[in-house]
Amino acid sequence: MLVKPFKEQTVLITGASRGIGAAIAERFASVGMNVVIHYRDSHEAANEVARSCMKHGTKVLTVSADIRYRDQISKMQEKLDQREMVPDIIVNNAGLAHYGLLSDVSEEDWDLIMDVNLKGAFLCTQAFMPSLIQQKYGRIINVSSIWGISGASCEVVYSTAKGGLNAFTKALARELAPSGVTVNAVAPGPVHTDMMSGFQPEEQAAIANEIPVGRFALPDEIASLVYFLALPESGYITGQIISPNGGWLT
């Protein structure tokens, strides 16, 4: 049941100050939807994304929170309530990569990657999910990774976190389906973002050569898939892990 016109809905995107998150915010703003841009520390970058979104004449709000902590999410939720921007669409995009041998991973590294990539999605979803259930309509879209499907050498912690996010997606989709809320994950292959900056140019070229289409994805291409999953007519798609990866993993 669609409770309001699609273009009058509000979308919350975590980690939206750059990269894929910024592209997702811009995509929803381009059709005039209300956009909430979450960030942790990148205040000016988030404001720049907001200014770009506002050029479309849409209502935009930036909110800062460390999604590892429930009390900070609660404060973010209060701000959204005050501005009457309760999200109909939740995009759990915030993420943090980690490169290195498992033997070199500290317990602090493990906790940080798990908290940002997995616990943050859990806490944000749990906080905003009740309103979706109450209105019998909503979309939850988790931004995962191809490594959560296939695993990656020297990215064990990150792969594990994203694999957990995929399982979270599948299980929650079953739980929320009777309430008219869909839950899906987008698991991209390599994308031209700052997250790939840990690789040298020659390493990036070698990876691109392994991809059948011969290149990395653009953030806008991932944003388009997220937007599609948020559409009212995508209501029969739930519990899916969709991987736009240029044919790298089939």
Q: Which residues are catalytic?
A: 158
The torsion defined by the Cα of 121, 124, 127 and 132, in degrees rounded to 10, comes to -80
Alpha-carbon distances, residue 52 vs 2, 49, 206, 219 (angstroms): 28, 5, 34, 15
Residue 217 neighbours by CB under 8 Å, 6+ apart:
188, 189, 190, 191, 192, 244, 245, 246
3-state helix vs strand vs coil in the chain, percent to 5 = 50, 15, 35
